[in-house]
Copies of this chain bind each other. A is one copy, B any other.
Amino acid sequence: MAGRLKFYGWGLENTGFDQGERDRLFWFIKNKLDVEPRAVAPPQVSDIALTPPRIQAPATLAAIFANDPYERLLHTYGKSYPETVRAFAREFRNAPDLVVYPRNAADIAALLDWASGANVAVIPFGCGSSVVGGIEPEVGGNFAGTVSLDLRSLNRVLEVDATSRAARIEAGILGPQLEAALKPHGLSIRHYPQSFEFSTLGGWIATRSGGHFATLYTHIDDFVESISMVTPAGVIESRRLPGSGAGPSPDRMMIGSEGALGVITEAWMRLQARPSFRGGAVFGFPDLFAAAKAVRAVAQAGLYPSNLRVIDNQEAGTYGVNDYGETLLMLAFESADHPVDVWMARAMELVQDHGGRKHRDESAALAWRTAFIRMPYGRELTVPLSVINDTFETAITWDRFEAFHASVSKATAEAIKEATGQDGTVSTRFTHVYPDGPAPYYTFNAKGTPGRVLEQWRHIKTRASDALIAAGGTITHHHAVGRDHMPWYRKQRPALFGQALAAAKATLDPRGILNPGVLVP
């Protein structure tokens, strides 16, 4: 990583929006939210008074610990909206006492031993891109201290099996590192969450990350062949298999465990040959529901496009792709084996049969994609201006989608008005699509009141989440549970499954030191 990560925002220090991007963002907040834009300097390390660490590193592991202020600040927050607000408010009271950079699984086992004995909470940290409060050391008052366990030193591809198209990979590797290591083999993981540049393989597995493919292989889950995880009770290492029917899947207990059951140290991952054939097109629809019908037809046709994303009118406008006049559907196929013309032709026919107007080119898709990847840099500009901006994502079956969407978007818009006294914006896209339903992704923006944005955000988040759960959705399709989603996760998951999971945690983490408060209350 060529530079130092910001402790208060997205990406590396001295990177961010260019002038054009900033102008577009400022135009939006002025014209759509009635917020007067201005540049505000971000917090500096020296601005912040941290309380001294309450614990000391064990002597045998002292070499891998850090306790300087920058490291403690960097490991305090993920990249959620409320965390960014608190970072800009110079509020870091939950900073970890210490940060540890293990070099290998043995370091992690020793660390968990020590922490279990010393009653120290340990929070696994990939690269800190959580947007759900997954890594903040907010663990209650029952621990002697907290340690953030940064896995980025475990960053190697250990073995490549080109025959089976799989590789054994350490969990702390960042997306670009992984792709660089696989490229000489003609292989790729083809998993590109928005956070790709600043997230790790282990983080993707622990949070059931959603990636590149809009259909079929939507979550990282599908690419996991086996996992090694260090727990306070010992190591769990699943068997490397292309498929199995031997009891409930051990991998499926570790996938989505969010650091609460153990620390994922490595995994055998299924890979893809780098595609050499591609076809893509963009279509316009009058609105989201019209586009949804076309998407459903394609999703149920057994064609498996790599891209099948929808951007509603509001979202396209917000991202500067068009003037709010059209819902966009992006369609693409890719293959390393064969031309995709026939696949494209049939999918396009289905989309056009359902009223899609084909664009002359894919420029709208490219414009959206660029804005999408760059978007996380915007928040450090808007948070100081008390703009409230957040996203949430879910999934719902097709039969309930229209009523679901009406309920959730109405609740969100109303909650913005209730909380701030003014209208904001609510926009929608589909990030992933299944034969039995879409994964809608909502973005909202509001003009917050200086000093009150956290409570205003909380009101909106609560109303939206309540509506989403009441209407049958999931509290998260690929952002994970973290601390922010716990109230709704507890409503969503069967209560007895929660008890079974707690029993599993008590077995693997008997002192309850791992990411306390996440998944298991």
List A residues at the B interface (Cβ < 8 Å): 161, 163-166, 207-210, 216, 218-219, 225, 231, 233-250, 252-258, 270, 273, 296, 300-304, 335-338, 342, 346, 395-399, 432, 434-439, 472-481, 485, 489, 492-497, 499-504, 506-508, 519
Contact = CB atoms under 8 A, between A and B. Distances in A.
Q: Interface residues of A: mostly helix, strand, loop or mixed? A: loop
Contact of A494 (B238, B301, B485): B238
Contacts of A500: 253, 503-504, 507-508
A124 to B, nearest CB: 15
B244 A395 contact: yes
A476 B245 contact: yes
Contact of A242 (B273, B301, B439): B439
A72 to B, nearest CB: 28
Given A165-B435, A399-B164, A507-B503, A245 B496 contact: no
A30 B208 CA distance: 56
Nearest to A159: B399
A302 to B, nearest CB: 6
Contacts of A481: 246-247
Given A250-B494, A270-B435, A508-B500, A397 B241 contact: yes
Contacts of A492: 239, 246
Nearest to A474: B244
Given A243-B218, A252-B248, A270 B436 contact: yes
Contacts of A504: 500-501, 503-504
Nearest to A341: B342
Question: Which residue, of A256, A296, A494, A495, has the highest number of chain B Cβ atoms within 10 A?
Answer: A494
B398 A239 contact: no
A479 B245 contact: yes
Contact of A258 (B161, B163, B247, B479): B247
B246 A493 contact: yes
Contact of A476 (B244, B257, B502): B244
Nearest to A231: B496
Given A219-B245, A397-B166, A250 B497 contact: yes
Contact of A474 (B245, B254, B304, B497): B245
Given A166-B436, A253-B253, A253-B500, 11 more contacts: A164-B437, A207-B245, A239-B474, A243-B477, A245-B477, A245-B478, A246-B475, A246-B481, A246-B493, A302-B337, A338-B346
A485 B246 contact: yes
A304 B343 CA distance: 13
A493 B245 contact: no
Contacts of A252: 248-249, 252-253
Contacts of A474: 239, 241, 243-246
Contacts of A477: 243-245
Contacts of A245: 207-210, 219, 256, 474, 476-480
Nearest to A255: B248
Contacts of A399: 161, 163-164
A434 B223 CA distance: 12
A496 B485 contact: no
8 A-B pairs with the lowest CB-CB distances in the bound complex, closest first: A242-B437, A252-B252, A208-B245, A242-B434, A503-B503, A500-B504, A301-B337, A244-B474
13 contacts: A164-B437, A165-B435, A233-B496, A238-B493, A243-B432, A245-B256, A247-B256, A247-B519, A249-B255, A253-B253, A270-B436, A301-B337, A503-B506
A492 B398 CA distance: 39
Given A163-B398, A336-B302, A346-B338, A257 B248 contact: yes
Contacts of A473: 241
A257 B435 CA distance: 26
Question: Which residue, of A255, A342, A500, A501, has the highest number of chain B Cβ atoms within 10 A?
Answer: A500
Contacts of A342: 342
Contacts of A503: 500, 503-504, 506-507
